[in-house]
Amino acid sequence: MGNITAAKTIADIIRTCLGPRAMMKMLLDPMGGIVMTNDGNAILREIQVQHPAAKSMIEISRTQDEEVGDGTTSVIILAGEMLSVAEHFLEQQMHPTVIIWAYRKALDDMISILKKIGTPVDVNNKEMMLKIIKSAINTKAINRWSDLACSIALDAVKTVEFEENGRKEIDIKKYAKVEKIPGGFSEDSCVLRGIMVNKDVTHPRMRRLIKNPRIVLLDCSLEYKKGESQTDIEITREEDFARILQMEEEYIQQMCEDLIRVKPDLVITEKGVSDLAQHYLMRANITAIRRVRKTDNNRIARACGARIVSRTDELREEDVGTGARLFEVKKIGDEYFAFITDCKDPKACTIILRGASKEILAEVERNLQDAMQVCRNVLMDPQLVPGGGATEMAVSHALTERSKGMTGVEQWPYRAVAQALEVIPRTLIQNCGASTIRVLTSLRAKHTQEGSQTWGVNGETGALVDMKELGIWEPLAVKLQTYKTAVETAVLLLRIDDIVSGHKKKNDNQSKQSAAPEAAQE
């Protein structure tokens, strides 16, 4: 029972964060920083919880976030509701295994019903895609600039979409980097056809603007290599010392000549560039940028078609990237940023976010991540289901119908699952302040009619609407994941009948010790 209460508590915290009229939560993290968000996962990440059952609730929102990137709030609310409808049966001494069996069966049916409801979508239809992303963004803080955010997300995902021998790969995490620059207006945010790094050129006299640059990416440092182990050199003659210094210079000169041989305009390395190397490169009119993050370097490689080389003497012509048309260094605010833009066919991109404060930017970034994930899900699996609680009601109605044909005790928990699904539309109605019972009853009635599976709640006003007309759709992948995760968690927590702590011993000893001095004082 304690588990159920714990799960319900977590669900209640998150409950107000569902839907377009969602409230924000303000969290103080241990460092004293502030996080403002209504993303279920972001909130639960920050909360400190002791109860093990509550911890597993937090875990599922993280799973949801990693798998499909959206629906973190609804998964928690659903799981909490599934458990609270089970509470009633446990009080009547029904065995948990029976409930679990019914839940499992309900889950299988839910999945098959969902697949029936799902409608295929044309991925190349831009307006439709924007609508889908928009329904994901509407519940977030950035819905004021939702059109801008939608097109940014769509552009970014389309850019990093990558097909090789028939299998699609859309890696947002690696290749679509979000760079946050405080200042400016939110309207200035954009997707670069290329990469931006927060670096300046190493030498003040190097060129800051290069048209059609030839780019070389290095993984090694352009400075004299010290011995790997601690090496000591004993020198007896003075000429030897001069010779050693000369060798160091020659070594660097050799490296630079290897570079200059392929005539690059821009050299980017992940490690350092010594002063001498800068001098040689500058004389050859080559711009150098040093200490670029490895991830950024990979992105530049994808964008301009260069290969990352680990040793200068292995440089060949095909390692040079010529895909970019423009390299420039701009000063934004008080920092310098290097832009490698206008690439021919970039497979990586940078999204620049501008905004008033760090907190706002962090929230916008999280929302954009959600939008890009939704977009990716649709590209991977182009099936849609109606949003706004319509799917939940349709599935719930179908489950109730099926339960009528069941016999035995199992039909009750099975029917309870159908009831639990209604929590999503109910919460939507609550969050926009309409009368819950009235709207929900009329919605139930609506769903008994034929062909009204797409009816749901308008989260702004709390009225009943057809989701087809409102244009609010969700990817099927997200819904499937939400249901699976929620039911699995409910089953998991119902399986637990006792929590045994393994930390008893320590506390007992401490309490005895602390009690002893007090007794002595008396």
3-state SS string for 437-457 = HHHHHHHHHHHHCCCCCCEEE
Are 425 and 395 contacting, i.e. CB atoms less than 8 angstroms apart?
no
Q: Which two tokens stand for residue 508?
A: 């007992």
Residue 157 neighbours by CB under 8 Å, 6+ apart: 170, 172, 176, 372, 375, 376, 379
Using CA atoms, how far apart are residues 397 and 118, in angstroms rounded to an integer? 16
- SS3 assignment, position 195: strand
- The vertex-258 CA angle with 253 and 260, nearest 5°, equals 90
Amino acid at 215: I
- SS3 assignment, position 473: strand
Q: Which two tokens stand for residue 430?
A: 């609550």
Are 386 and 215 contacting, i.e. CB atoms less than 8 angstroms apart?
no
User: Phi and psi for 62 in degrees, rounded to 5?
Assistant: -70, -45
Amino acid at 227: G
b/e string for 441-471 if b means 16 or more Cβ within 10 A? eebeebbeeeebbbbbbbbeebebbbbeebe
355's enclosing H/E stretch is strand 349-355
Using CA atoms, how far apart are residues 480 and 115, in angstroms rounded to an integer? 9
Tell how far CA 190 is from the center of its chain.
19
Residue 112 neighbours by CB under 8 Å, 6+ apart: none
User: Parallel, antiparallel, or unpaired: how do β-strands 326-332 and 25-28 relate?
Assistant: unpaired
Using CA atoms, how far apart are residues 299 and 349, in angstroms rounded to an integer? 7
User: Phi and psi for 22 in degrees, rounded to 5?
Assistant: -70, 150
Catalytic residues: 39, 72-73, 370
